[in-house]
Amino acid sequence: MSRSRFLRSLPILAFALVCVSFGADASLSATRGETIHTVITSLGLPEWSGGEHFTDIAPGHPFSRSIETAAALGILPPAEQFYPDLEATRAEALMFALQAMGLRHEAAVLEALAPGPSRNIPQYIAPYLSLAGEIQPAPPGEFLRDPRGSLSGEELFSLGQ
């Protein structure tokens, strides 16, 4: 993805992350399922109609289609379980959004060329935090200062500011 195309995509990211807050109490933590659902629906990505990828996603789960769509599009890493009802972290929200924007390759190149400190987060998330630190508009400071913190609706709203 070219730099100019990436920069044109940033308003979409901001919009996607703001939309999560409209369906949730700003003081409550957003779940991993809610976060993925918001990213998928806000970007207008087509819903996956194929098979299921995760054993812990019941067909009736409110975010099952979005989660399965994210898996089919490569936004989520291959795994048996996704744990959709766990609280999302700020780092995960940034990673999901940047992956949905097609920046997986950029993160892999960044990690290969200049591996960053893990800051006690999984190594596969670290390059996304580095990318997030360079984009404009920048995410709110708490996302980069405390990426392991639980993601609140208020923080999701602040990403779009």
DSSP line for 37-105 = HHHHHHTTPPPP-S----TT--TT-TTHHHHHHHHHTTSS---S---TTSBPBHHHHHHHHHHHTT-HH
Q: Can you give the residue range of the structural domain that contains 31?
A: 3-159
Q: For CA atoms 158, 63, 131, 126, give the dihedral sign.
A: positive
Written as one string, the DSSP assignment of 92-115 is HHHHHHHHHTT-HHHHHHHHHHSP
In this prediction, what percent of the chain has a pLDDT beyond 70? 76
For residues 159 and 42, give the distance between their C-alpha atoms in angstroms, rounded to a whole number: 14
Contact criterion met (CB below 8 Å) for 110 and 131: yes
Name the domain count of the chain: 1
- Structure tokens, 102: 């097609």
- Structure tokens, 121: 């987060």
Chain-centre distance for alpha carbon 86: 14
pLDDT tens track for 15-28: 444 444 344 455 58
pLDDT tens track for 95-154: 998 999 888 889 888 888 876 666 678 888 889 998 888 888 888 888 889 999 999 877
pLDDT of 61 higher than 50: yes
